[in-house]
Amino acid sequence: MTTAGLHCEQLSRRVGDRLLLDGLNLSVAPGESLALLGPSGCGKTTTLRLLAGLDPVSGGRIRLDGQDVTHSPAGERQVAMVFQSYALYPHLSVLANLELGLEVRRVPAPERRQRIAEVLALLQLEGLERRRPAQLSGGQRQRVALARALLRQPRLMLLDEPMSNLDAQLRDQLRPELRALLHRAGHPVIHVTHDQQEAMGLADRIAVLESGVLQQVGTPQELYHRPANLFVARFLGRPGINLLAGEAGVQLGIRPEQLRLVESGGLPARLLRREWQGSQQLLWLDTSRGELLLLAEASLSPGEQLQVSWRPEDELRFSSASGERLA
Which residues lie near another protein (CB under 8 A)? 49, 52-54, 73-76, 79-81, 83-85, 87, 89-91, 100-101, 104-105, 148, 152
Shortest Cβ distance from residue 89 to another protein (Å)? 6
Q: Which amino acid is at 24?
A: L
Residue 54 or 300: which CB sits closer to another protein? 54
Cα–Cα distance measured from residue 114 to residue 281, given in angstroms and rounded to the nearest whole number: 55
What is the number of other CB atoms lying within 10 angstroms of the CB of residue 110? 8
For another protein, give the closer residue by CB, 157 or 202.
157
Q: Which one, 80 or 116, has the nearer CB to another protein?
A: 80
Q: Which residues are registered as beta bridge partners of 229?
A: 324
User: What is the rounded CA–CA span in Å between residue 52 and residue 75?
Assistant: 9
CA dihedral 250, 251, 257, 259 (to 10 degrees): 70
Instruction: In angstroms, give the least distance from the CB of 184 to another protein.
Output: 22
Of residues 25 and 89, the one with the C-beta less far from another protein: 89
Q: Which is nearer to another protein, 80 or 230 (CB)?
A: 80
How far is Cα 163 from Cα 148, in angstroms, rounded to an integer?
Answer: 17
Work out how close the CB of 121 gets to another protein at its nearest, in angstroms, rounded to a whole number.
21
DSSP, collapsed to helix, strand or coil, labels residue 10 as strand
Q: Which is nearer to another protein, 112 or 152 (CB)?
A: 152
Alpha carbon distance 145, 94 (integer Å): 9
CB of 9 to another protein, least distance (A): 23
Rounded to a whole number of angstroms, the minimum distance from the CB of residue 54 to another protein is: 5
CB of 207 to another protein, least distance (A): 22
Residue 109 CB-density burial (10 A; 0-12 exposed, 13-18 middle, 19+ buried): exposed
Q: Which residues contact 243 (CB under 8 A, 6 or more apart)?
A: 230, 234, 251, 252, 253, 290
CB of 148 to another protein, least distance (A): 8
Degrees, nearest 5: CA angle 40-187-157? 35
Smallest gap from residue 82 Cβ to another protein (A): 9
**Quick one: 76 or 313, whose CB is closer to another protein?**
76
What's the min distance (Å) between Cβ of 223 and another protein?
29
- Helix, strand, or coil (residue 205): strand
**The amino acid at 130:** R
Q: For 13-44, give the DSSP string.
A: EEETTEEEEEEEEEEE-TT-EEEEE-STTSSH
Using the minimum distance from each CB to another protein, give the nearer residue, 104 or 248.
104
Q: Quick one: 120 or 306, whose CB is closer to another protein?
A: 120
Alpha carbons 202 and 175: distance in angstroms, whole number: 6
CA distance 225 to 223: 6
